[in-house]
Structure 1
């Protein structure tokens, strides 16, 4: 008998005792460690999606790293959504302490009966713990940890806090994390506007996100939602009428992308500017831009139209090297209203509006004429439009000892007024003007305007240096903003997830000229559009000023223009810096894009300011039937009486 007792002790009792001791010790260890383990759930800081919106608050794009999530607080979640979730996942959620022993027992029996793991009996708290802290391994050890952590978590968080974390952490399929994200993604609705059927479709997703994805398996999604609605009715949580209405509803489901990027070149620039924020794609920022999506669409459509028209003129189907860019700003503030870095971001993400350095060509000439006006000349002053030859020691033109510039039409015009020279973009007259005013003066003043990397030779008169469309936008504000250069600004505000604004560098205008002095050039730029190389930019009923630009051999084509309230820089060229094609000048390919854009804007906003203001210090003089502007107190001699024209 003693031997039998010993055998029983060794075979049955001792293992039970030891198992109990070790099991209890292990549970005690898990309980002690649980405080550290649940801390990440208590201090919940999930990765949040950053939103980029336009000046009217409309979504431009979402930025995120791995999880596309828009956070929602518990008080934003409709009570019906909480009820629907509890109906299908954890009816006794507000009654248990984190673990539902009855549910676990039922699941255990069901698993034994099926001889496989068929049901877990997990509460919402357990599901949250499993998703955030544990693996999905179906083991006893993992289940014990889950139970202990759930019990511990319910001691430090309220039921509402647990639900808030569950609704924000859970994956709802289609790349959507969090219930608010899913509602906007699938139904394009805020939570408060969801119908009962839409709510049921959403809470059905966590069980099998891919299977119940309404964008791919709508019939299964609807069937699952109907089951949840009937369950809510059986529990007495909704009325017969509510159930009937919900069962018959078939909501409209949208197949939205997670980024929803409608202005990719703009977004690329935002990411570049705000690259100093380490959590730019995870911090849940709201980035408000000055961009107006209506203007952005007009600019994109006009640029594409210009591109297609070029292909027709060139008799090409499509050319991967041919491209363009456009920057639209408010003339007073410099706020960027539209920015297009290419004709198709899907084919090339290179942002030509901000990154491409292209020769400005004749679009530099207004600055040279402004310098001449600042040095005592007027738009009625005479300049010889005759050929010149320059020593090429600095290598302006490769493999040539002398540089012999010529006009576009290869003609010479003799003595011409500065107004006519700029209106018709006469190269020879401009070069002679640089020589008369003095190269050092021109070079110094161009540098003071902000132009960089200027070659120290006469080719600067024809814009032989590189500049981006965005930089050109800043430089041309000298005229459109009446003498003050304003730096183009893209971002209006950056607000973090707590509603705190991030400080941004304030752009202050750089006062260069008096309004009257700047208007002298502006008045000639009006003439460029009315009678000169920029006539294709005309818009009926709207005053336009601007300048065309074409670099050597038709490599770059520009139009830099502005109305009394808007400025737009348009550029076309080839990415490999080869010629666009014979006669593809800025006036032919870029100016029409400007005109088309302005017509769209004027139709959209008929109240747009239509006429330029004339500064008080500016007076009009009429000479030989031509109108000239000068600053009050300055007398322009009659050409017929002029005895000393500008000769060299």
Structure 2
């Protein structure tokens, strides 16, 4: 019995020493870790910004420019961002962001150790970095305060800032800042700008498959862009939907239905195409009045006098007549040449890319696109246009003579095509419609005008500018001939002179004397001025209507 008691005593002592030893080692490690954390914190904390500045932080937002009927005609911005409060962001979009970026967002203090450990194991198994452990708070800290460099030091700073953010702001405030601040691709910052960019609608109107696509973009906006990489975008969207189902945000049948949906993307439009010269005219005035920062960062709303319908009519009429006027001077030749011996599939693919005819899109009547001459006959030419073939008949290019300023192009024409166009010529064509045969397109030959024009439409009783055209193509020449050319008004000034005469009691039958007159002005840059007519003649007594 004494022997057994001694053995028990020794065992109890052994366990006690093992426990105490293990506990001591644990405490030492904990103390070292705690001390190390404090040391690291004090080394890096002093150089970090105060996160409380975000309480008064105003992110860069979009200045919107509207027509006289409150239609959007332009957006001015450094970062395309439209702020939206968290309560107006759809619940499913918030859930999608949490599911794919930070499922434990509402339970951690800025750093998710479980997510970091899980990502570490996943990356070890994959042999490469396939998953990150950054929380939404860390991503926000990095975006607002830190550079893009990849280093341990930056990760430490990111962690410190994240904890500070969690101490100063509520979870909902952090999520709202994140959803309004993060980059979503194609120049869009925040979910509202992303919704308008990708789907042409407000964020409140997004469907489940659409919120999933948007929520998946921040990881790599370029790689997952549905415009650039539809397959990758679909895969990423479906991953987000699966994560939402795994987290219990949506039912499995909802997920399956959403993953089967095709993209219904909005068209990427350049707002400046609506009224480029007018927008630039207004932008310059805004810059002079408020300065660059105010215009590009403060989200101004600018209401103008422009009438969008009249502007579109003015643009179409001006371009149409510039093409007509330019053709009077003859055909200046092809844009270039292509090797017509290449496989037709290759040539058509090149043309589809040039003409932006994606996913089987067909050209629309009235549009001007690039074409490649395939074969030429005396009165007919066959042209590849990316989607099938088209034909140009002699009547639709009979203006294409050799340039000669001595010839009046209104009456000159060619009588055969094969001396003007050749196989392999890259040309510009206008799509007239489907040919009467129904098997190919009917086209006309075009060229980009070298002649320029300007137009400005002003409402007489208010002086409001309703339409402004400063040239043929703003992307090639930003010189606004409507307001910058300082041209002599010529006969356009006559209504002002007649108006002044009528207000003085003159009538169209009033007789005036057309005779030489000399103005002497010593206070100006000239001593005297003697105006003359173009004909260099004077006609004596003349009725006002003929003067």
- TM-score, normalization: structure 1? 0.56
Q: CA deviation at 1:221?
A: 0.8
Q: Deviations over 1:19-70 (max 9, x none)?
A: 8646423324656766x432344433221121212122222121122x2222
CA distance in 2, matches of 1:44, 1:147: 21
Instruction: Tell whether 2:477 aligns with 1:348.
Output: yes
| CA pair 160-414 structure 1, distance change in 2 beyond 3 A | same
Alignment match, 2:186: 174
CA distance in 1, matches of 2:271, 2:496: 42
Which of 310, 322, 328 is matched with 2:457 structurally? 328
- For the residue of structure 2 that corresponds to 1:250, the secondary structure is coil
Q: CA deviation at 1:313?
A: 4.4
Asked whether the equivalents of residues 341 and 353 of structure 1 are also in contact (C-alpha less than 8 Å), the reply is yes
Q: Deviations over 1:367-405 (max 9, x none)?
A: 4444444555443322345x64869999x9x9xx99683
CA distance in 2, matches of 1:217, 1:197: 17
- For the residue of structure 1 that corresponds to 2:147, the secondary structure is coil
Q: CA deviation at 1:338?
A: 0.9
CA distance in 2, matches of 1:113, 1:245: 32
Instruction: Tell whether 2:110 aligns with 1:98.
Output: yes
Asked whether the equivalents of residues 215 and 254 of structure 1 are also in contact (C-alpha less than 8 Å), the reply is no
Asked whether the equivalents of residues 459 and 466 of structure 2 are also in contact (C-alpha less than 8 Å), the reply is yes
Q: CA deviation at 1:202?
A: 0.8
Which of 52, 56, 60 is matched with 1:39 structurally? 52
Asked whether the equivalents of residues 175 and 258 of structure 1 are also in contact (C-alpha less than 8 Å), the reply is no
Asked whether the equivalents of residues 390 and 402 of structure 1 are also in contact (C-alpha less than 8 Å), the reply is yes
Alignment of 1:357-396 (within 5 A): 357-385=486-514, 388=516
Which of 36, 39, 56 is matched with 1:25 structurally? 39
Q: Deviations over 1:230-287 (max 9, x none)?
A: 2222222212342232111112224515655421101110111111322211211121
Structure 1 unaligned spans of 5+: 1-12, 427-648
Alignment of 1:61-210 (within 5 A): 61-65=74-78, 67-110=79-122, 119-210=131-222
| CA pair 204-357 structure 1, distance change in 2 beyond 3 A | same
| CA pair 258-37 structure 1, distance change in 2 beyond 3 A | farther
CA distance in 2, matches of 1:239, 1:188: 27
Asked whether the equivalents of residues 63 and 301 of structure 2 are also in contact (C-alpha less than 8 Å), the reply is yes
- For the residue of structure 1 that corresponds to 2:99, the secondary structure is helix
Q: CA deviation at 1:303?
A: 1.7
Alignment match, 1:309: 324
Instruction: Tell whether 2:239 aligns with 1:227.
Output: yes
Asked whether the equivalents of residues 233 and 239 of structure 1 are also in contact (C-alpha less than 8 Å), the reply is yes
Q: CA deviation at 1:171?
A: 1.1
| CA pair 404-72 structure 1, distance change in 2 beyond 3 A | closer
Instruction: Tell whether 2:532 aligns with 1:405.
Output: yes
Q: CA deviation at 1:120?
A: 3.6
Asked whether the equivalents of residues 238 and 259 of structure 2 are also in contact (C-alpha less than 8 Å), the reply is yes
CA distance in 2, matches of 1:402, 1:329: 32
Q: CA RMSD in A?
A: 3.4
Instruction: Tell whether 2:298 aligns with 1:286.
Output: no
- For the residue of structure 2 that corresponds to 1:172, the secondary structure is strand
Q: CA deviation at 1:132?
A: 1.7
Larger CA deviation: 39-48 vs 348-357: 39-48
| CA pair 232-392 structure 1, distance change in 2 beyond 3 A | same
Structure 2 unaligned spans of 5+: 1-26, 333-446
Paired residues in the alignment total 401
- For the residue of structure 2 that corresponds to 1:62, the secondary structure is strand
CA distance in 2, matches of 1:141, 1:312: 65
Alignment match, 1:251: 263
Which of 40, 64, 67 is matched with 1:54 structurally? 67
Q: CA deviation at 1:154?
A: 1.1
Alignment of 1:415-564 (within 5 A): 415-418=541-544, 420-421=545-546, 426=547
Q: CA deviation at 1:347?
A: 2.3
CA distance in 1, matches of 2:506, 2:156: 90
CA distance in 1, matches of 2:461, 2:145: 54
Asked whether the equivalents of residues 272 and 279 of structure 2 are also in contact (C-alpha less than 8 Å), the reply is no
CA distance in 2, matches of 1:328, 1:81: 46
CA distance in 1, matches of 2:259, 2:28: 59
| CA pair 372-161 structure 1, distance change in 2 beyond 3 A | same
| CA pair 213-350 structure 1, distance change in 2 beyond 3 A | same
CA distance in 1, matches of 2:529, 2:240: 86
Alignment match, 1:337: 466
- For the residue of structure 1 that corresponds to 2:153, the secondary structure is helix
| CA pair 339-99 structure 1, distance change in 2 beyond 3 A | same
- For the residue of structure 1 that corresponds to 2:468, the secondary structure is strand
